[in-house]
Amino acid sequence: DGGITQSPKYLFRKEGQNVTLSCEQNLNHDAMYWYRQDPGQGLRLIYYSQIVNDFQKGDIAEGYSVSREKKESFPLTVTSAQKNPTAFYLCASRVRGSSYNEQFFGPGTRLTVL
Amino acid sequence: AQKVTQAQTEISVVEKEDVTLDCVYETRDTTYYLFWYKQPPSGELVFLIRRNSFDEQNEISGRYSWNFQKSTSSFNFTITASQVVDSAVYFCALSEESYNTDKLIFGTGTRLQVFP
């Protein structure tokens, strides 16, 4: 079945460590996105990529980094520079070309900093 | 500025009650799209519906219906005869065509709890 997978589902990190969250899609979508969700808040855009080898900062990119070496993969690294990284992270993808197209979401990764 | 407001933080109902989730949006664009997503306890967002700014026809899908009114900048979602499985957080979202920012602007969500 086509879809988006994120791993791991739960992740624990010590302060000062970098950690990478995986996102893979087999929907043949060009565009991919990373969102952060905090309790009682909506989703905030961290980074997005419309094509391979290109990506743009979203609204809250500080302390995060991404790469897009393959169409199917868009990993997110949470660096030690991110002051408050504990959150629920959602990856999404969609067909590129128009804001008309809905985004499809993965199951999410819950990151906790100890 | 673009903005989506879901003023209802949490709603609790008893099964079989009807419930309406409100969504009010602000946009600078004349062509835009509105979405509703459902987030069950598992966490994954599930797409429910999309509406174009030039199509004000209401939509019904089973127990779900959506009322889009440009005059009041609202895109409200009604669940008829609610069920326990409807318990989730529901998000309304907006994207604008002409600016092609490739962003979805989300509201803060409404948590719906349906009790048996």
**B50 lies within 8 A of chain A by CB:** yes
Chain A residues in contact with B102 by the CB 8 A cut-off are 31, 48, 50, 56, 99
pLDDT mean over B38-66: 90
**3-class SS of residue B85:** helix
Residue A47's pLDDT is 95
Task: Please tell me if residue A108 touches chain B, with a CB cutoff of 8 Å.
Answer: yes
The contacts of residue A84 (CB under 8 Å, 6+ apart) are none
**Under an 8 A CB cutoff, do B106 and A58 touch?**
no
Question: What is the pLDDT, as a whole number, of residue A5?
Answer: 95
User: Is pLDDT larger for residue A15 or for residue B7?
Assistant: B7
Dist CA A9 CA A24 (whole Å): 13
B33 chain-A contacts, CB cut-off 8 A: 99-100
The model's confidence at residue B55, banded by pLDDT at 50, 70 and 90, is confident
CA distances, B77 to each of A43, A44, B67 (Å):
19, 22, 7
pLDDT at residue A33 tops 90: yes
Task: Name the band, by pLDDT with cuts 50, 70 and 90, for residue A99.
Answer: low
Query: Looking at residue A75, what DSSP letter applies?
Result: -
Using the predicted structure, report yes or no on whether residue A72 has a pLDDT greater than 60. yes
- Residue that is written with structure tokens 């895109």 in the block: B75
Answer whether residue B26 shows pLDDT above 70. Answer: yes
What DSSP character marks residue A73? Answer: B
**Mean pLDDT, chain B, whole residue set:** 91
